[in-house]
Amino acid sequence: MDFISTHLLTSILFFPILAALAILFFPTEQIKLIRWTALIASLVPFVLSLLLWGRFDASAAGFQFSEQYPWYDAIHSSFHVGVDGLSLTMVMLTTLLTPLAILASFGVTDRVKAYMILFLLLETGMLGVFMAVDLLIFFVFWEVGLVPMYFLINQWGSANRNYASLKFMIYTMGGSLGLLLAIQMLGVLFQTYDLVTIYTRWNALEASANLLPWFGSYLTVETVKTIAFWAFVIAFAIKVPVWPFHTWLPDAHTEAPTAGSMLLAGVLLKLGAYGFLRLVLPLYPAQSAQYAGWLAFLAVMAIIFGALGAYGQNDFKRLVAYSSVNHMGFVLLGVAAAAKVAGTADATIALNGAVFQMFNHGLSAAGMFFLVGVIYERAHTRDLNQLGGLFPIVPVYGAILLFTSMASLGLPGLSGFVSEFLVVRGAWASMPIFAALAMIGLLMTGAYILKGIKKVLHGPLNEHWAHGEHQLTDISAREVIVMAPLMALILILGIWPAWLLDVINKAMSMLF
Amino acid sequence: MNLNLLAILPEALLVLLAVAILILDPLFKADSRRVNLGWLAAGGLTLILLISFLAGQPAQNELTLGGMVRFDWFAFAFKMFFIFAAAITALLMMDVDALANRAEAYVLLLAATIGMNLMAASADLVMLYLAIETTSIPLYVLAGFLTDNDKSTEAGFKYLLFGAMTSAILLYGFSLLFGFAGTTNLAAMAVSLATPTVFSLGALLLVLVGFGFKTSIVPFHFWAPDVYEGASTPIAGFLSTASKAAGFAVLLRFSLTVFPQTGSQWQYTLAVISILTMTIGNLVALAQKNIKRMLAYSSIAHAGYALIGVVAASTLGTASAVFYMMAYILTNLAAFAIVTVAGRVIGSDDLRAYDGLSRRSPYLALAMLVAFLSLAGMPPFGGFVAKLLVFAAGVEKGWIGLVIAGIINSIIGVYYYLTTLKYVYLYRMEGEDEESYPIPVSRPYAIALTVLVAGVILLGTFFAPWYDLTVKAAASLF
Amino acid sequence: MQFPILSVIVFTPLVTSLLILLMKPERKTEVRVAALAAASFALLLSIWVFISYDKTAAGYQFLEKYSWLPALGISYHVGVDGMSAPLVLLTGVVMFTGVLISWGIDDRPREFFAFLFLLAGGVFGVFVSLDLFMLFFFYEIAVFPMYLLIVIWGWVKTREYAAMKLTLYLFLGSVMALVGALAMYWVNYQNTGILTFDMLQLEKAGFSGQFQYIWFMPVFMGFAILGGIFPFHNWSPDGHVAAPTAVSMFHAGVLMKLGAFAALRVGVMLLPEGAKQWAWLIFILAMVNVVYGAFIAMIQTDLKYVIGFSSVSHMGLVMLGIATLTPEGLTGAGLQMFSHGVMTALFFASVGMIYDRAHTRMIPELGGMVKALPFVAIAFTVGGLVGMGMPGFSGFVAEFPIFMGVWKTQWLAAVIASISIIVTAAYILIAVRKVFFGKMPAKFEGHMTPISALDKVALFTLVLLMTGLGMFPNLLAPMISLGVQNVLRLLGGA
């Protein structure tokens, strides 16, 4: 126990890998054993992160539970992890969603061993990004997470998976290229990758000092910072994804297996947003403020086009996928608003909203994708025009879908409402036009969600599903167990968000 | 007058051996003559080698026997090479019936060896000419020894004609030199020729013709391929190694004694010849389909490399040329030995006849690998060290262009040597049943091949003692 | 006297080669066992060298010096520093795995292993030699067995052409460098009056700027040809494709490192001023390697050509790292040599296993191998991730510092070179997917025998090294940094 309490973060981070290694040696035929081991193994980090939550001191500044080990001395990078309020929230989200995703994939029968191992590896990859306090480590985990996801889509996805997985990989790697280069540049400049040091030293540079050689003269710090700013922004924007870099997302989501989509939407998209908060805003406050308008524009475009795109879909999963674009637009809007008026109360509100929205979207998107998966598993189609009027046949499923959709739509009383309200409220003063446009987007959100519900649950019943061999069965107990924690949290956070917002708020006000 | 008979100890012993062979020959029974003659010659030569090596080392460099020969390490080293080459050749002759049954063949071999020994030692134009003729005449006969073989007869005759003509030119050159210098002693001649005139240079060119014939350098190389192809293989091997080395011994001694100063036209001439020799030898070798012709052209090219050391005209240069000759004798003898062994069974010298050799006789193939890679200048074989040394000597004296030409040529060389190995290792006989056509290697051949291969490897790995020998030899010329 | 461990490492394969040749050709199993025993022994010793290298003392260690040809200053002088010790280990690993996966060679295995070990001995010799003559000596020993190995046991269609091309290219390079080396030798003699090929002495020769300017390019490029530098890279993919599996492993895994290593050791370390003056040109050529190699790899359909050109691209990174002449770049180059060595060894081993069963390497004709050969699929995938520079694997650990070095030198180049990362990712992912996943063509049914336990050991060793190094770069990087300091000391400053 003593070891765990002193190495809490690394325990959370590496337990899934250890479990994956153990599973590697299980016999391939023991599907049940593998499933349960994976599930239990993924619950351990969750329990540990509850412990983490309990011990976390919200009022203290800086990173807590820091651990630092030598890693790559030759280029002055160390294995440095730590959490603050922002990362803690994300760690909680990850450790919560992973067991649910694993539980959700109990239906997978093809190469279960490899599947479970990849999931556990994916968890470590995601957690590592949230915990890293060293730029190089951040990047390592950032990329490492791609690999399991690529294979999950590529191997367990649906028909068009090859195209989608390659697109996913190439987009994200392409995006992270700029990130990689910018990180290298920072490393070369400062001879360290430690975030805490870089925060202070990077911002202490004279804006007009000469930095990189450029054909006989030098680039000024300002130019370099601007370039690096955009390198970071593009990398994270692709991951979020922000319009116009979002086209990989519907493809990847549509083709990914259900649990893959859950984590993709639930956690992986948050990596991009987290990058904005962890790196872009603290490292480039001036550039962020300068280009906040652009960011807000992109965010609003994401909100509106995401919603329009979602409305235009006839594939249920694509619809939900576009809804992610729409929802993540709010996160970026919050970031942009905060960047514009950094340091003010409005900024803190907007940031609170953004982070809270990240968490909420994690819950609702994961839930939505799972529910799409549930119906797909039974009907083997996601075509909205072939479904319809299913409420009487699958009443429990219908109720859950309705509830989750409402959360996604931002119904007051459920969590989504609180975060979206906070974002718009924070943005209102500084960028009223964008805030107003975002509100219109919110309206359209309602439209596509209702369209989805209507096409699936209401309207004329497609008789095909009512009788005979195609008769749909209602949601199973296991599937309800997957949904239960999500719905509970959605409800609790909708009614009493303070317990989480408090932590976020303190972190935000200390960070910026 | 200095009369150090130790200077001609090896030659005296060789004469004794020749006499012994002639006396014993009638005593041998017909069915064992072949074996007895061969072992007698080879054993005797080995013994001579040992005795001369132990007892005949020069204490200091001296001019002896009426100023006719020099008793120095240079001559000594070359004599050892020649006797060694003769011993190996004697072994190789044993399974060639037309040669092995005739005592004359061995006696001629010994006579040629005596001539070569004297070539390496002579310090006087007269002696030199006599030595060259003593070498050449037995060799003409040996080359044409297989009288029932048209090619061999043709080879002998061609060799004789070329040899006679060049030797006449050489003699003419010698007489002119004598006219200009008023002396036949090489060292004394250097003093008189210190300021060369057009005429003396012309005389030198005539002399060069004679030497060029012996060393088969371009443009005096035409005889070599035909003669090698026609002569029986052991004789061709002897011609291409010992005889060529003897030519080099003379060339080295002559050019260093008569032209001690560097940078003269003589050296530029040699440099040009070196480049031509390497290039033409290698390029023509590329196109050969007959392994003996290929080896002939390759041996022409090797003369070109060795010339780099002569051109450098320094202690290292001379040492490297001597080392080159040493390595070359071992390697090329090995190559010809293999051709002898294989050719006897295969009955053809065509490259295609070597298909599947590595399956028919793995060890023979390995020996061939060693020999050819050494010719190509690859470590850990003698050829590598030898090439490196001549290049080093060239670079030392600033002959960078010459060295680069040498390098380009070695690359061409690598190409055809490796191509030959491809026949041995890669291609298969028609029917792919090599196992049923093994190539037997008789004991004398096995001994010869083992000695040669071991020597090639030894020269390429523990080269210090051999190099010291060559340095000693080279130093005695300065 | 201290145990002459480096000599034992160098001579183990050489002596084994001779011993194997003396065995009876029919006793194939004994030959193989002898080969494996020798390879394991050499591997253990090289691990020992790696572990017991004293990092606090740094510099050259395990020194042995015997005079070889005193008259010309040639000595047998061996020792390792932080740069070469990992390469010795790499050679040990490749040799060991190469023997394991060549177990099935049935055509004249005696000759095969003998030549292979001759090659290995040459490679070891180059990595440990501190004498210029000795370096060339072993360098050539490493080159010519390649010809025979390719021509005899290679791929029927191209072996003759490829083997000859390879040999001539490499021979040309080495003799070019040789002339430069001889020039150094004599100029050092003029300057100091000492005849020596000892590189530690030649380092102090104080060659004039002009001399270094003239001779750097012949020497560096001569060796870099073996490293596959543009525009002399063409021999390399052809050679890879034609060579039998174990030889491809050696070729890409170790031999190309030989070129880069010797270019560094002789070119940069003995002619540092020349290196500074010509670095820009090497830099540009290496850039071409990196980007061009990646694009060419992308359009190949023969799996071995894909890997062959990926090697060109990856070795370009090594050259790039060297050309930066910065601590980061050089460290990265050292790491990349090791990482790429292990990675290509793995690639070629996997491809060999597939080819042995499917008798084709054309990517469009393959598919679904994961079902039949899961172990190979995983190993190849890991190799692919290393090749892509995926963090967590050794490729990233190596490429990252190289890019840092490039940033320091010319940051725009880093941006351009990074294109190759994306291209590499694309072709590797496509290759992995087409070969291992999807549907297996029906004609392969029943031909896909599982790989042997020996094959698995080989693959596992290689995978373990790549992931281990990727996760714990400190296992290797500090050592290489020590070697790099040695280089930087000669370059002056830093």
Residue A207 pLDDT exceeds 80:
no
The overall average pLDDT reported for chain A is 85
Q: Which SS3 state, helix, strand or coil, does residue A83 take?
A: strand
Distance of CA A132 to the CA centre of its chain: 16
pLDDT at C493: 55
Q: Are A147 and C408 within 8 A, CB to CB?
A: no
Domain count, chain C: 1
Residue from the list C404, C410, C474 with its beta carbon closest to the beta carbon of A73: C474
- Do B229 and B151 meet the contact criterion of CB atoms below 8 Å apart? yes
pLDDT in tens, A254-310: 888 888 888 888 888 888 889 988 888 888 888 888 888 888 898 889 888 888 888
Asked if the C-beta of A147 comes within 8 angstroms of chain C's C-beta atoms, the answer is: yes
**Residue ranges in A341-381 assigned as alpha helix (H):** 345-379
Say how many C-beta atoms besides its own lie within 10 A of residue A443's C-beta: 10
Q: What is the mean pLDDT of each run of 10 residues along chain B (478 residues)?
A: 78 93 87 86 93 87 84 92 94 85 90 94 91 93 86 89 91 89 85 76 85 88 89 91 92 83 74 93 92 92 92 88 94 93 85 86 90 91 92 89 91 90 84 81 91 93 90 87
Residues in chain C closer than 8 A to A217 (CB atoms): none
pLDDT in tens, C239-275: 888 888 888 888 888 988 999 999 999 999 999 989 9
Q: For residues B243 and B139, give the distance between their C-alpha atoms in angstroms, rounded to a whole number.
A: 9
- Do A500 and A90 meet the contact criterion of CB atoms below 8 Å apart? no
CA distances from B191 to A510, B203, C71, C145, C264 (A): 100, 16, 32, 52, 52
Q: For residues A390 and A403, give the distance between their C-alpha atoms in angstroms, rounded to a whole number.
A: 16
pLDDT in tens, A121-156: 999 999 999 999 998 899 988 888 888 888 888 888
Please name the amino acid found at residue C385. L
Q: Which one, of C207, C68, C175, lies nearest residue C130 by Cα? A: C68
Asked if the C-beta of A185 comes within 8 angstroms of chain C's C-beta atoms, the answer is: yes
- Do A63 and A196 meet the contact criterion of CB atoms below 8 Å apart? yes
- Do B144 and B159 meet the contact criterion of CB atoms below 8 Å apart? yes
Q: Which one, of A501, B410, B396, lies nearest residue C187 by Cα? A: B396
Q: Which SS3 state, helix, strand or coil, does residue A77 take?
A: strand
Q: For residues C352 and C462, give the distance between their C-alpha atoms in angstroms, rounded to a whole number.
A: 15
Instruction: Report the predicted TM-score, pTM, of the whole model to 2 decimal places.
Output: 0.88
Residues in chain C closer than 8 A to A152 (CB atoms): none
Q: Which one, of A501, A507, A508, A511, lies nearest residue A59 by Cα? A: A507
* Touch between B and C (at least 3 CB pairs under 8 Å): yes
- How does DSSP assign C201-262, residue by residue? HHTTS---HHHHHHHHHHHHHHHHTTTT-TTS-THHHHHHHHS-HHHHHHIIIIIHHHHHHH
Q: For residues C350 and C306, give the distance between their C-alpha atoms in angstroms, rounded to a whole number.
A: 13
Q: For residues B146 and B235, give the distance between their C-alpha atoms in angstroms, rounded to a whole number.
A: 11
Asked if the C-beta of C386 comes within 8 angstroms of chain B's C-beta atoms, the answer is: no
Q: For residues C224 and C219, give the distance between their C-alpha atoms in angstroms, rounded to a whole number.
A: 9
pLDDT in tens, B64-102: 888 888 889 999 999 999 999 999 999 999 888 788 888
Residues in chain B closer than 8 A to C159 (CB atoms): 426
* Touch between C and A (at least 3 CB pairs under 8 Å): yes
Say how many C-beta atoms besides its own lie within 10 A of residue B400's C-beta: 13
Burial of B171 (0-12, 13-18, 19+ CB in 10 A): middle
Q: How far is C69 from chain B (nearest CA, A)?
A: 5
pLDDT at C1: 56
Asked if the C-beta of A187 comes within 8 angstroms of chain C's C-beta atoms, the answer is: yes
Residues in chain A closer than 8 A to C320 (CB atoms): none
* Residue of B301 and C366 predicted with greater confidence: B301
Asked if the C-beta of C72 comes within 8 angstroms of chain B's C-beta atoms, the answer is: yes
What's the N-to-C CA distance of chain A in angstroms?
A: 35
Q: Are B359 and C67 within 8 A, CB to CB?
A: no
Q: Which one, of A446, A455, A384, A387, lies nearest residue A411 by Cα? A: A446
pLDDT at B335: 94
The overall average pLDDT reported for chain C is 88
Proportion of chain A above pLDDT 70, given as a percent: 97
Q: Which two tokens stand for residue B464?
A: 């210090």
pLDDT in tens, B6-35: 888 999 999 999 999 999 888 888 888 888
Eight-class DSSP state of A134 = B
pLDDT at C285: 93
Q: How far is A194 from chain C (nearest CA, A)?
A: 16
Please name the amino acid found at residue C414. A
Phi, psi of C61 (to 5 degrees): -130, 175
Residues in chain C closer than 8 A to A144 (CB atoms): 390-392
What is the H or E stretch that residue A171 is in? helix A161-190
Q: Are C391 and A144 within 8 A, CB to CB?
A: yes
Helices C132-153, B362-376: crossing angle, 10 deg rounding: 130
Confidence at C494, pLDDT banded by 50, 70, 90: very low
pLDDT in tens, C22-75: 888 778 888 899 999 999 999 999 999 999 888 888 788 898 899 888 888 899
Q: Which two tokens stand for residue B276?
A: 């031509």
Which residues does B contribute to its contact with C (CB < 8 Å)? 316, 358-359, 362, 366, 369, 373, 376, 378-380, 384, 388, 391-392, 395-396, 400, 403-404, 407, 410-411, 414-415, 418-419, 421-422, 425-426, 463-464, 467-468, 471
Q: Which one, of B426, B428, B407, lies nearest residue B418 by Cα? A: B426
Residue A359 makes CB contacts below 8 A (sequence gap 6+) with A89, A90, A92, A93, A415, A419, A493, A500
Q: For residues C310 and C292, give the distance between their C-alpha atoms in angstroms, rounded to a whole number.
A: 10
Q: Which two tokens stand for residue A496?
A: 């009493």
Proportion of chain C above pLDDT 90, given as a percent: 31
pLDDT in tens, C144-174: 888 888 888 888 888 888 888 888 888 888 8
Conformation bin of residue B2: beta by default, left when phi > 0, alpha when psi is -120 to 50: beta
Confidence at C192, pLDDT banded by 50, 70, 90: confident
Closest chain C residue to the Cα of B385, Cα to Cα:
C137
Confidence at A392, pLDDT banded by 50, 70, 90: confident
Proportion of chain A above pLDDT 90, given as a percent: 3
- Residues C284-306, mean pLDDT to the nearest whole number: 90
Q: Are C411 and A185 within 8 A, CB to CB?
A: yes
pLDDT at A210: 64
**Side-chain-facing half-sphere of B162: CA atoms under 13 Å:** 26
Closest chain A residue to the Cα of C439, Cα to Cα:
A155
ipTM of the complex: 0.88
**Which structural domain range is residue C395 located in?**
5-491
